A and B are shown apart, each in its own frame.
Chain A
Amino acid sequence: MEVSREEILHIANLANLNLDENEIDKYILNLQDILNFANVVNNAPIDGLSETIGATENYNVFRKDEVKEYKDIEGLLQNAPEQDENMFKIPKVIN
C-alpha cells in the first residue's frame, strides 16, 4: 500500500492538522505499515454480511425533544480560552 505525499497532506487538511516535513515522512511510513496490516480484512469471509455499526442490537433510541435549561453557565465558560459577556470569543470572521 503506497501513500503519497499529496494524500497525506490532503488527509491532514481534512483533519485540521499541520504536518512539518519530518512528520510527513514519518506518518507516510506509519500509515503504510498500518494499512498493509489492516489489509487482512480483505481476506475475511464477509461476503453477504451486513455491517455492524454498534456493539448493541439497539437501532434508534428516541426521547422526547424537550428543552431543558442548563443553569451552570459559569461552569461551562470556565474552560473557555477567551470569553466575553457569557459568550465564547473568537477572532473576527467577516471583514
Chain B
Amino acid sequence: MSIVDLTVHELVEKLEKKELTITEINKAYAERIKEKEPEVGAFISDLSEDALEEAKKIEEKVSNGEIKNENHLAGIPIAIKDNMCVKGTRTTCASKMLENFVAPYDATVIEKLKAENLTFLGKVNMDEFAMGASTEYSALQKTKNPWNLNCVPGGSSGGSAAVVASKMAPWALGSDTGGSIRQPASFCGIVGLKPTYGLVSRYGLVAFASSLDQIGPMTRDVRDNAMLLNLIVGHDEHDSTSIKTEKKDYTKALVNDVKGLKIGLPKEYFGEGINEEVKASIDKVIEKYKELGAEVEECSLDIAEYALATYYIIACAEASSNLGRFDGIRYGYRTKNFKTLKDIYRNSRTEGFGDEVKRRIILGTYVLSSGYYDAYYKKAQQVRTLVRQEFNKAFEKYDLILTPTSPTTAFEIGTKSNNPLEMYLADICTVSINIAGVPAISVPCGTSSKGLPIGFQLIGKHFDEETIYRAAYTYEQNTDFKGLEG
C-alpha cells in the first residue's frame, strides 16, 4: 500500500508512530499529481511543489517544537475548490472573469486550516461560479471522472471529488448550493457533507446564492469527514449568518451503532426518474440499516418538485444580484472594447461570463423584475417556508431521512451540457436540503454494472451532523465499499 492510498486518520497515525514523515507525504502527493493529473484534469492551479517546500519547513518546526501540533494535522495536504480565497494564489471560480484574480486575503476556512499548518496542493476545477452539475461549465478546462474518463465527475465541486477519488489529494474542501458537494461525491465514490447553513463561515467564498451556499468536507471516509468538519466550523464576525454554537468534536459521534435510530424514506424520492440500478443499490442500504437495528419506514415529503423550481428561482435571483459586482473596474476581466464607463460594464460582463452564468443571471433578473416578482420570487420564498415546515414535520418523527444522492450515476461528457433544464433535473434529490438549510451527507454504497459509483444521502436535523455521522459511520463499518484502486 502506498502513501496516497491512506486516509488522513491513517496518515496521522503513521506520523505519530514516526513511520512516515510530513515531507514523505507531500512528496508522494506531488508525484501522484504528476502521474494522474494529465488524464483527470482537475487542477486549475497545481501548487504541489510549493506544498512540498512548505512541508519541509513545517516538519522542521514540528521537530523543534515551534509548532505545537496538538491535533497532529500539521503538514497534511489538502485541495481547495477554486472559489475559496487563498491569499496570494489565483481564485478563478473557473471563469474567464476571474482567470487572473489573485486573492488578497484568506477565506476564514483557509485561515483555520493554516492555523493547523495544513499544506495546499492546489486549487481545483468546478463549474463556472459553481453553476452546474458536471464541471463541464468550467470556462478553463475539462475534468474527467477518474472511475471512467468518458464520464463527468459531477459538479459543481467536480475537481474536489475527482482529486480525492484519484488520490491526488487525501481530502478536499467543496461548496454546496444545491448539491454541489454531495452529487460529485456520489459520482466519484467518496464521502461529502453539506453542513447546516450557518455552521461554517462563508467569508472568502465567492458568493453564488448567499442564502444557500455552504462550504463542506469531501473525503475518502466518514472519519476523515468528521475530522475536517472539526477544523472548519465556528462563528465568524465576517459572516453574520454564521452561528454561535458550542465547539464539538464530531469524531465522538462515530459510534458503530444505529439501534433504535428512526430513518424515514420519503417515497417521492424513490419514484419516477430514479435509475433502476441506483434504486437497487439504495434498497440494499435500507436492508443493511434494518439488519443493524434501525427502524426504517416509508414516509412522505411531497416537496421534491416544488423545491427544485423554488431552488432555481431563488438561486438565480441571488446570483443575479451577487454577480452584479463584476464590472471590470476593481478586479476581474476588463474588455478592451470601450469608450464609456457603461461600455466597460456591459462589454466586460458580456465577454467575461460564460453561457450558463449568463442564462442564470437572465433568469434571476427576470424573476426579480417588476411584474414577475410576485409570480415567481415571492411565491418561491413562500414555498421555501413550506419546505422548511415539511422537513420539520418529518423530523418530529424521524432522526434521519434517507434518499438517493442523485437519480443516476455519472453521465457521459457532453450528454447534458446543451440542455439546461435536463442538467437542472440532476439536482432533484439534493436541492430541498439547501432550501431548508439542513445538513446532509453522501456516502458511497456500491457501483453500477458499468463500474460507476452510487451514493446515498442521509439528511439530518438542523445542527445535528452527529446523528448523520453516526449512521454513515455505522453503514461504512458494516459494509465493504472500495474506493477507486490503482
Task: Collect the chain B residues with CB atoms within 8 Å of residue A41's CB.
Answer: 306, 309-310, 313, 376, 379-380, 383
Query: Is the pair A11, B382 in contact by a Cβ cutoff of 8 Å?
Result: no
A72-95 contacts to B (CB < 8 Å): 72, 75-76, 78-82, 88, 90-91, 93
Report the Cα distance A38→B375, complex, angstroms.
10
Pick from A18, A53, A91: contact of B338, CB under 8 Å: A91
Query: Is the pair B197, A55 in contact by a Cβ cutoff of 8 Å?
Result: yes
* Contacts A81-B329, A91-B339, A93-B341 given; does A34 touch B381 at CB 8 Å: no
Give B374 Cβ to nearest chain A Cβ, in Å. Answer: 11
B212 at interface (Cβ–Cβ under 8 A)? yes
* Contacts A14-B365, A45-B386, A55-B434 given; does A37 touch B330 at CB 8 Å: no
B361-397 contacts to A (CB < 8 Å): 361-363, 365-367, 369, 375-376, 378-386, 388-389
* Contacts A63-B237, A78-B102 given; does A49 touch B362 at CB 8 Å: no
Q: Which of B50-58, B129-137, B344-352 contacts A (4 or more CB under 8 A)?
A: B344-352
Query: Is the pair B330, A54 in contact by a Cβ cutoff of 8 Å?
Result: no
Pick from B309, B334, B366: contact of A11, CB under 8 Å: B366
B332 at interface (Cβ–Cβ under 8 A)? yes
Q: Which residue of A lies closest to B421 (CB)?
A: A33
B89 at interface (Cβ–Cβ under 8 A)? no
Query: Is the pair A44, B306 in contact by a Cβ cutoff of 8 Å?
Result: yes
Give B341 Cβ to nearest chain A Cβ, in Å. Answer: 6
Pick from B313, B361, B385, B437: contact of A38, CB under 8 Å: B313
Report the Cα distance A11→B369, complex, angstroms.
8
B204 at interface (Cβ–Cβ under 8 A)? no
Report the Cα distance A53→B318, complex, angstroms.
11
Report the Cα distance A61→B350, complex, angstroms.
36
Give A47 Cβ to nearest chain B Cβ, in Å. Answer: 9
Report the Cα distance A91→B347, complex, angstroms.
14
Pick from B310, B353, B385, B421: contact of A49, CB under 8 Å: B385
Query: Is the pair B104, A90 in contact by a Cβ cutoff of 8 Å?
Result: no
B424 at interface (Cβ–Cβ under 8 A)? yes
Task: Collect the chain B residues with CB atoms within 8 Å of residue A10's CB.
Answer: 369
Report the Cα distance A1→B312, complex, angstroms.
16
Q: Which residue of B lies closest to A46 (CB)?
A: B382
Pick from A33, A56, A82: contact of B198, CB under 8 Å: A56
Give B122 Cβ to nearest chain A Cβ, in Å. Answer: 20
Interface size, chain B (Cβ < 8 Å) = 70
Chain B interface main SS type: helix
Task: Collect the chain A residues with CB atoms within 8 Å of residue B359's CB.
Answer: 27, 30-31
Task: Collect the chain B residues with CB atoms within 8 Å of residue A37's CB.
Answer: 309, 312, 421, 424
Report the Cα distance A76→B105, complex, angstroms.
9
Q: Which residue of A lies closest to B346 (CB)?
A: A16
A17 at interface (Cβ–Cβ under 8 A)? yes
Pick from B104, B312, B341, B378: contact of A78, CB under 8 Å: B104
Produce 1/0 per residue, A38-78, CB < 8 A to B: 11111111100111111110100101000000001001101
Query: Is the pair B349, A16 in contact by a Cβ cutoff of 8 Å?
Result: yes
Query: Is the pair B362, A79 in contact by a Cβ cutoff of 8 Å?
Result: no
Give A4 Cβ to nearest chain B Cβ, in Å. Answer: 12
Report the Cα distance A67→B388, complex, angstroms.
38
Task: Collect the chain A residues with CB atoms within 8 Å of residue B341's CB.
Answer: 90-91, 93
Shortest 9 CB-CB contacts between residues of A and residues of B: A55-B437, A75-B104, A81-B334, A55-B197, A79-B331, A51-B381, A61-B240, A52-B384, A46-B382
Interface positions of B (Cβ within 8 A of A)? 100-102, 104-105, 197-198, 211-212, 237, 240-241, 243, 305-306, 309-310, 312-313, 320, 324, 327-334, 338-341, 343-347, 349-350, 353, 358-359, 361-363, 365-367, 369, 375-376, 378-386, 388-389, 420-421, 424, 434-437
Return 11 A-B CB contacts under 8 Å, by A number: A11-B365, A11-B369, A17-B361, A23-B358, A30-B359, A34-B424, A37-B312, A56-B243, A63-B237, A79-B332, A91-B341
Sample of 17 more A-B contacts, CB < 8 Å, known A17-B346, A80-B330, A81-B332 = A7-B366, A10-B369, A14-B369, A17-B362, A33-B420, A34-B421, A38-B367, A41-B376, A42-B375, A44-B386, A52-B382, A54-B241, A56-B437, A63-B237, A78-B102, A80-B329, A81-B329
